[in-house]
């Protein structure tokens, strides 16, 4: 069975982008794949986090996973810091990846801003930890939003360089698997993981600015719909969402150059499990004043049950912590098996 890994950071409020771009897809993959879903707290601390808030957010993301429908008995749910092998493999990958590769990462440039000298080394090395998260389980598929595409490409580059740098050792120890690299059949230890960037809403945009993605760290709360927003707040945010003066076009062509309009139609289509074409078939020609209440009603109908379930699950902290502990134990077994082999590939004496 193919193995899926993905993670969500416990930083601030989970929003509709995290849900449509990631969490909802995590749920859908459960029937066809073995899945490992991680609350990536070690990624969160690449920028300063209030420790008490970090613990709260870690449990909240876990509750969101469970409330959305992830089954922690069939699959693995845990927080990253419990499984030390992520950090260990990240160090190995820091020694495999090249400075130039990381220098090209756009997320670092955006997050570090102008004051790069003051960004943490961890923020710069974030993608090598992400590669370790995935490859310590030798995961074959990673469902993520469109913003993570570049990091997934880097993960493949790291796997490929590791396989190449240590190819004779991998062959001597007979720990490789056959895989295709372009047209060439090679024997590698780490798979070239496939990103799964698909579904109707791989990049949900801010409600205030159609050129920016919906994001947890955007200061304006009006820019996003949080999974925990109540019905009134959701309606208000959609009512205030930026649009242009025209009504809805009758076909997808008519959304070109209208990012805010396209975003709202995309969100509707994703929540309704429909397509933009069908949504425009229904609402084309109408004004946003008619479309927005319909969108708000749909968003509330879809999100309220998840928010209620999150509250119910969060009330039982012992249960949430138990899920993370048990998931961590199961994840550690897989991660340690990988690291045993990695240590021996590298020549690190551990007997």
Please confirm, yes or no, whether 149 is among the known catalytic residues: no
User: How many residues at the interface with ligand AQP, by CB under 6 A?
Assistant: 19
* 123 SS3 class: helix
* Long-range contacts (CB closer than 8 Å, 24 or more residues apart) made by 249-252: 249/280, 249/284, 250/280, 250/281, 250/284, 250/285, 251/277, 251/280, 251/284, 252/276, 252/277, 252/280
Interaction between residue 169 and ligand AQP (CB under 6 A): no
Interaction between residue 18 and ligand AQP (CB under 6 A): yes
Interaction between residue 135 and ligand AQP (CB under 6 A): no
Q: Classify the C-alpha dihedral 40-42-44-46 as positive or negative.
A: negative
* 194 SS3 class: strand
By the 8 A CB rule, do 198 and 233 touch? no
Q: Tell me whether residue 214 or residue 320 sits nearer to ligand AQP (CB atom).
A: 214
Q: What's the angle, vertex CA 74, arms to CA 73 and CA 76, rounded to 5?
A: 75
Please confirm, yes or no, whether 340 is among the known catalytic residues: no
Interaction between residue 72 and ligand AQP (CB under 6 A): no
List 3, 4, 5, 21, residue binding ligand AQP (CB under 6 A)? 21
**Annotated binding residue 323:** no
Interaction between residue 11 and ligand AQP (CB under 6 A): yes
**Annotated binding residue 146:** yes
By the 8 A CB rule, do 261 and 255 touch? yes
List 56, 203, 236, 242, residue binding ligand AQP (CB under 6 A)? 203
Q: Tell me whether residue 82 or residue 339 sits nearer to ligand AQP (CB atom).
A: 82
List 168, 211, 217, 350, residue binding ligand AQP (CB under 6 A)? 217
Interaction between residue 350 and ligand AQP (CB under 6 A): no
Residue 109, token pair as written in the block? 């440039």
Q: Return the range that interacts with ligand AQP (CB under 6 A); candidates 97-105, 139-147, 255-263, 322-330.
A: 139-147
* Ramachandran assignment for 129, one of left (phi > 0), alpha (psi -120 to 50 degrees), beta (any other): alpha
Please confirm, yes or no, whether 216 is among the known catalytic residues: yes
Q: Tell me whether residue 11 or residue 235 sits nearer to ligand AQP (CB atom).
A: 11
How far apart CA 32 and CA 74 sit, in angstroms, is 12
Residue 224, token pair as written in the block? 């996003």
Given 149, 161, 216, 242, the catalytic residue: 216
By the 8 A CB rule, do 237 and 208 touch? no
Closest CB to ligand AQP: residue number: 21
**Annotated binding residue 9:** yes
Residue 103: CB minimum distance to ligand AQP, A? 19
How far apart CA 131 and CA 135 sit, in angstroms, is 6
Residue 14: CB minimum distance to ligand AQP, A? 8
By the 8 A CB rule, do 239 and 296 touch? yes
Residues taking part in catalysis? 111, 213, 216
Q: In the complex, which residues of this chain contact ligand AQP (CB under 6 A)? A: 8-9, 11, 17-18, 21-22, 144-145, 147-148, 202-204, 213-217
Feature table: binding site: 9-11, 17-18, 133, 145-147, 204, 213-217
Feature table: binding site for ATP: 9-11, 17-18, 145-147, 204, 213-217
């Amino acid at each position: 069975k193919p193995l899926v890994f993905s993670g969500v950071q416990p930083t601030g409020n989970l929003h509709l982008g995290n849900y449509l771009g990631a969490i909802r897809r995590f749920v859908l993959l459960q029937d066809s794949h073995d899945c490992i879903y991680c609350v990536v707290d070690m990624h969160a601390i690449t920028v300063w986090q209030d420790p008490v808030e970090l613990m709260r957010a870690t449990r909240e993301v876990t509750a969101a996973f469970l409330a959305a429908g992830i089954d922690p008995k069939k699959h693995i749910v845990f927080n990253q810091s419990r499984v030390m092998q992520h950090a260990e493999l990240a160090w190995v990958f820091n020694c495999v990846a090249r400075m130039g590769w990381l220098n090209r990462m756009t997320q670092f440039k955006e997050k570090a801003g102008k004051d790069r000298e003051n960004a943490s080394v961890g923020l710069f090395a974030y993608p090598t930890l992400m590669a370790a998260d995935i490859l310590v389980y030798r995961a074959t598929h990673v469902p993520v939003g469109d913003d993570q595409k570049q990091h997934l490409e880097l993960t493949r580059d790291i796997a490929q360089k590791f396989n190449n740098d240590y190819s004779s050792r991998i062959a001597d120890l007979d720990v490789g698997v056959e895989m295709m690299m372009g047209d060439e059949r090679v024997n590698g230890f780490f798979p070239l993981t496939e990103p799964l960037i698909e579904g109707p809403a791989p990049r949900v945009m801010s409600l205030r600015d159609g050129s920016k993605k919906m994001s947890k760290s955007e200061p304006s709360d009006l820019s996003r719909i949080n999974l925990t927003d109540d019905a009134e707040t959701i309606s208000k945010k959609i009512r205030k969402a930026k649009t242009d003066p025209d009504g809805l076009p009758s076909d997808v062509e008519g959304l070109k150059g209208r990012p805010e309009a396209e975003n709202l139609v995309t969100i509707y289509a994703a929540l309704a499990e429909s397509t933009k074409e069908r949504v425009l078939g229904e609402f084309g020609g109408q004004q946003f004043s008619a479309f927005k209440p319909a969108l708000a009603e749909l968003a509330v109908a879809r999100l309220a049950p998840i928010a209620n379930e999150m509250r119910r699950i969060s009330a039982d902290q012992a249960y949430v912590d138990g899920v993370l502990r048990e998931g961590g134990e199961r994840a550690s077994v897989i991660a340690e098996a990988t690291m045993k082999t990695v240590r021996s590939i590298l020549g690190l004496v551990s007997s």
